[in-house]
Chain A
Amino acid sequence: MSREILKVENLSMRFGGLLAVNNVALTVKEKQVVALIGPNGAGKTTVFNCLTGFYQPTGGSILLDGEPIQGLPGHKIALKGVVRTFQNVRLFKDMTAIENLLIAQHRHLNTNFFAGLFKTPSFRKSEREAMEYAEYWLDKVNLKEFANRTAGTLAYGQQRRLEIARCMMTRPRILMLDEPAAGLNPKETEDLKALIGVLREEHNVTVLLIEHDMKLVMSISDHIVVINQGTPLADGTPEQIRDNPEVIKAYLGEA
């Protein structure tokens, strides 16, 4: 059995009188694909926001490799290798696809002011490597021909793929996808499934995703966590979840 990479315990998030997330627990093992599902408004995205530092959780602990990360600002958590996409795509719309990918590699670039000013060999080398890595991923997500198009002019499915590629630029350990298949056609959803497989197999990325497309969720997840109205409802393998009467009730209402 592989190592636990992310362990969330008793996570709570309260907005004034509203308890949006209540005692959610979550364990993610290395190279697993874990799905977080639940009806609309269940608090899935709030959990994501807590994990990635966009919200400061009001209770509970988040351990990344045993190290507590709750309450850290978003960019620090991202630097620790937890990177996310957004429910409504957030690209740098007026910049080209390749620029989007270069920005995300800031950690792996030579940021020395004078090196850049005089284009020293080490600066050129780091820029060239960044370009190569960006090209590699553009190729992976089938966007190479659109490298110089501004991101905002790409089709919706392409923007979604570019956003995933942009996350990969930071060499993440955990990739968190917020409804990656929303708005995709069946063919694109199939491609996405293949892409997630590649991420896991070839790049050792652990994936945590929120998704409503049950066919996708059931086919790629190793583990599923269901939450309803902020509280955990069930967790287990896809088979267990499929047959769980509580889950069916939450989704379909009482018979």
Chain B
Amino acid sequence: MTRHLKSALFSALLVWAVAYPVLGLKLTIVGINLEVHGTSPTILAVIAICSVLMFLRVLFSTQISAAWKSSPSLPVIPAKASHFLTLPTTQRWIILALIVVALIWPFFGSRGAVDIATLILIYVMLGLGLNIVVGLAGLLDLGYVGFYAVGAYSYALLSHYYGLSFWICLPIAGLMAATFGFLLGFPVLRLRGDYLAIVTLGFGEIIRLFLRNLTDITGGPNGISNIEKPTFFGLTFERKAAEGLQTFHEYFGLEYNSINKVIFLYLVALLLALAALFVINRLLRMPIGRAWEALREDEIACRALGLNPTVIKLSAFTLGAAFAGFAGSFFAARQGLVTPESFTFIESAIILAIVVLGGMGSQLGVILAAVVMILLPEMMREFSEYRMLMFGALMVLMMIWRPQGLLPMQRPHMELRK
């Protein structure tokens, strides 16, 4: 009991030690001086209550965990349902249903909702691309956002300096990002695990800082603004068309409505995400896709079977980066503005979180996780200050309840001829 009492007291003190400097002190500027004041008594009272709760929690920890165990089990998905949900055939049907819903709903949805959905689709694309590198080939890449930046800047620069349209730049941006993926793949061929993660993290930052400091061309921290939006076979969605162009609403004799543009962008994003989904799905069932997974499982065995690990790694980096490039050029087109600040490390972390949360290697998992990761912060805008806190809590909960991800990948079942 005394041991419990001791650690309980310590925990209560710890609550004060953590919470008081963060919440209990306020900085105010008086004239040119910065002064520290205590905050309102309510906050102090809340901290006090928290510390008391923590004290009790630790003091009675054994009793609580016993009660916890005897209580009916928490939302653990039953084994059978989980198995059914992760079967490849079920996943295919779910994906098909999702596509139909995704095509129809924006015409009835609100403008804000469609806008967020577009953002989600960008992250779906990024998640699917990173899934190749991390989930399938097992190469932990923390600098994925760098390729996203390459794609975005490729379109921004080509559009700004040469006036090329989105549809021409899209493949170029993908190709540029792929080239970067290929080139950056070379120096890291010999690295695995943590070392690879650190080096790729560095690459991501190098690309961002390079774009930031290349002021003459990229505009430095101000970025590039007024990037052209995609057109629908040459028809723009602006109110007034530029010289020599026609607008969508005039051509079809419709009333101008700004939501048309939002819906169109959403549909373009959907198209790109579906294309990515299709291509990656096929890659999985091709020799190269199987080789990626083999590389993740055992590199030495790969070599013994005559598979060249260099080629496999480079192809994973290259193709993964290409998808980031497509996503990036769409991002630039949607925002109309790119700055280096859009491509900080936290973006890489979010994309990686999507892959891990969804279940490594699982496509449907990535889609679901992208929805969760983007939608949750949007829905909880009021609590935006606590966003990172919730992010952390979500990760901890996931690690406890479903460490394998929301919808982990299942092996494809292959029919044998009897």
Contact = CB atoms under 8 A, between A and B. Distances in A.
B397 interface: no
Given A86-B304, A111-B287, A95 B297 contact: yes
Contacts of A52: 304
A106 B307 contact: yes
Contacts of A132: 417
A133 B307 CA distance: 19
Chain A residues touching B, range: 35 or more
A91 B301 contact: yes
Nearest to B311: A75
Contacts of A74: 303-304
B417 A96 contact: no
A252 interface: no
Contacts of B283: 116
B120 interface: no
**Taking each of B279, B290, B291, which has the highest tally of chain A beta carbons within 10 Å of its own beta carbon?**
B290
B293 A75 contact: no
30 contacts: A52-B304, A54-B300, A54-B303, A75-B302, A75-B306, A78-B303, A78-B304, A83-B304, A86-B301, A90-B304, A92-B301, A93-B298, A94-B293, A95-B290, A98-B416, A99-B290, A99-B293, A102-B290, A103-B294, A103-B305, A104-B305, A106-B291, A116-B282, A116-B283, A116-B288, A117-B282, A131-B416, A135-B417, A147-B414, A148-B413
A170 B307 CA distance: 11
A91 B303 contact: no
A184 B305 CA distance: 24
A75 B303 contact: yes
B286 interface: yes
A7 interface: no
A139 to B, nearest CB: 9
Given A109-B287, A144-B416, A99 B411 contact: yes
B309 interface: yes
Nearest to B301: A90
**Taking each of A73, A104, A117, A167, which has the highest tally of chain B beta carbons within 10 Å of its own beta carbon?**
A104
Chain B residues touching A, range: 20 to 34
B286 A116 contact: yes
Interface string A78-118: 11000110100011111110110011101101110100110
A166 interface: yes
Contacts of B110: none
B300 A94 contact: no
Nearest to B409: A94
A56 interface: no
Contacts of A169: 305
Interface string B384-418: 00000000000000000000000000011110110
Nearest to B297: A92
A95 B414 contact: no
A95 B307 contact: no
A96 B290 CA distance: 11
B226 interface: no
B308 interface: yes
A104 B307 CA distance: 8
Contacts of B298: 90-93
Contact of A96 (B287, B304, B308, B414): B414
Interface in B294-337: 294, 297-298, 300-309
B21 to A, nearest CB: 46
A46 interface: no
A169 B411 CA distance: 20
B288 A78 contact: no
Nearest to B293: A95
A135 B416 contact: yes
Contacts of B304: 52, 54, 74, 78, 83-84, 86, 90
A95 B409 CA distance: 11
A106 B287 contact: yes
A169 B291 CA distance: 15
B294 A92 contact: yes
Contacts of A166: 305
Contact of B416 (A95, A110, A147): A147
Contacts of B305: 75, 78, 83, 103-104, 106, 166-167, 169-170
Given A148-B411, A148-B414, A92 B309 contact: no
A123 to B, nearest CB: 8
A110 B282 CA distance: 14
A45 interface: no
A158 interface: no
Q: Which 5 A-B pairs have the closest CB atoms?
A: A78-B306, A116-B286, A92-B297, A74-B303, A90-B301
Contacts of B288: 111, 113, 116
